[in-house]
Structure formats: C-alpha cells, structure tokens
Amino acid sequence: MLRSTALLHSGFTRRWGPVSSSFRSMSNGSWGESIPDEYVEEKEEEVGEWKGCTKKFLMPISVNSRGSEILNNPLYSKNTAFKGGERDRLRFRGLLPPRRVNMQIQKERVLEEIRAEESMIRKHVILEDVHDRNETLYHRILVDHMEEMAPIIYTPTVGQACNEFAMRYRRPRGMYFCEEDRGHMAAMMYNWPQRDVQVIVVTDGSRILGLGDLGANGMGIPIGKLSLYCAAGGIAPHRVMPVVIDVGTDNEALLKDKFYLGVQKPRMKGAPYYHLVDEFLQAARHRWPNVLI
C-alpha cells in the first residue's frame, strides 16, 4: 500500500521554541540589516479553514491507512477539522459533512456539554467518549483547560470510574496480561500497534486510590495518568501504553459480578506472581528497550 503523509496538527500545535532562530542569526550576521519580526514569527491564520492553525512547517505523521480507517482511528481522526487538501490526499472527501469545523469550535461544543452537567462522573463519561473518538480534540481540551479537566479525568472522579469500569466499558484501550499469557508475552507485545512506545503505566489493580482491590477495573488509573502525562508533559499519545496485569482479585463482589471483565479467581500471590510480573517486564523491554515503566 502506498504511504500517505498527513499533517495531523490542526488545533494541537505544541510550542517547542521559535523555529525562527536561524533567521535571527542570519539577520545578525553578514547579511546586513535585520529581518522584521513579521517576516520571522508566523502567526496563526485568522480566516478560512486554517483559522486558529499555523501553516509553518511541522513534522508530518506518516500513516499507512486511508479513508474511513483514519476517520475511525481516534489517534489520527480530527473529525470535521480535516482540511480540503487532507480530505483529497487521504481519500475521504464525501465521508464527512462539507463544512470544516476546526478544533476550536469542536472544543467549544464539548465544553458546553461538559459544563451543562452537574455530575462529575457524567462529565468523565463525556470526556472519555471524546478520548475514544478524537484524541487530538481530547488533548486540546486538556492542554487548554487542565485545571478544570484534571479532577474529571483523574482524582477524585477516576475512583468512581474504576468502580463502574465494567458497566461503562465501550471499547478496548491498553493491554491486559494474565496467568494464561505466561510464555506468550514476548509475542503479545507485538499485538500493540504502535512501534515507538516510550512510557508504560501498569497496575495490578490491588490498591486503587484507597478503594482497595478493584482487579481489572483498575485500568482507569493507567489511562488517567497517561492522559495527564500527555497533556502536561508533552508526550505524544501514540507513545504511551496503559497496562493491567490481571492476577485475579480478592474482592468478593467482583468475584460474583457477572459483568466483571477480569479474571474471576482469588488473587495470585508469592512466586507465581513475581514470575508473571518478571516475564511482563522482560517482554516489554525486549520490544521497547528504552521504555519507561
């Protein structure tokens, strides 16, 4: 398949410092007169489909898919913010409504919905729905409104979200490793689609925010932590991986819950537990030698 190169930065431009330093050094060298600031610092566009975005060079993301595969991939989808050139190049002209609605307008729509809710868990559900559909928009919201959004995606709301994880489960996110996977973890790591994982947050669900043993429902913690790391620390969302090592649970309610998604056995302890964790760590290091766990 031919590779298509997409500039997936609409509305989510991180400031890594001025790209104009080379121009400034030229202006102070043998070229004579200095270059005016407006020639050096390129401002965001104010009208048209590029409104609120920049046309200056940004490192493109190379993707091997086209059409609806991109639209249905939350890592790459920008929903209606895709510009005309992108819609042609990536082959989904006609698959979206014709009007280009940029990230700023999409963000305002989600914020209105969140702020209309009084329940923190409902706010969490709305935000995670965006996370599952459009990660560019999700992280734009977090970056711009971190103080307001942090209590929604992490403490104190994430505790209730973990308690209700099985009931609210919608789509896969992260990886799960359990006793049945012993001897296969090195191969399993290659099931993860991203090649450059730099940060893994892992839990065994045994002690979740003072709530005790929540087993596989503890996946909400790695997801929430990594959301904060991406938004506040500038880690690219495709370079993180949330993980649950499911060694069972001693929570009687979960052992009897027909909707629970984890291993319904008493929690593994002693040498078997440590051997399982050791295999996971070695498998992760084998695929990504420099990963931070």
Inter-residue contact 185 to 275 (CB < 8 Å): no
DSSP summary character for residue 42: P
Catalytic residue, chosen from 76, 154, 229, 260, is 154
> How many C-beta neighbours within 10 Å does residue 201 have?
18
Catalytic one among 78, 225, 229, 260? Answer: 225
Contact present, 10 and 26 (Cβ < 8 Å): no
Is 154 catalytic? The answer is: yes
174 and 223 Cβ atoms separated by less than 8 Å: yes
Dist. CA 145–CA 150, nearest whole Å = 8
Helix, strand or coil, per DSSP, at residue 19: coil
Whether 225 sits among the annotated catalytic residues: the reply is yes
Q: Environment class of residue 52 by beta-carbon count within 10 Å: exposed (0-12), middle (13-18) or buried (19+)? A: middle
In whole angstroms, give the CA distance from residue 236 to residue 240.
7
Q: Rounded CA gap, 251 and 223, in Å? A: 22
Peptide bond into 272 cis (omega under 30): no
**10 Å Cβ neighbour count for 42?**
13
Q: Which amino acid is at 127?
A: L
Residues involved in catalysis: 154, 225
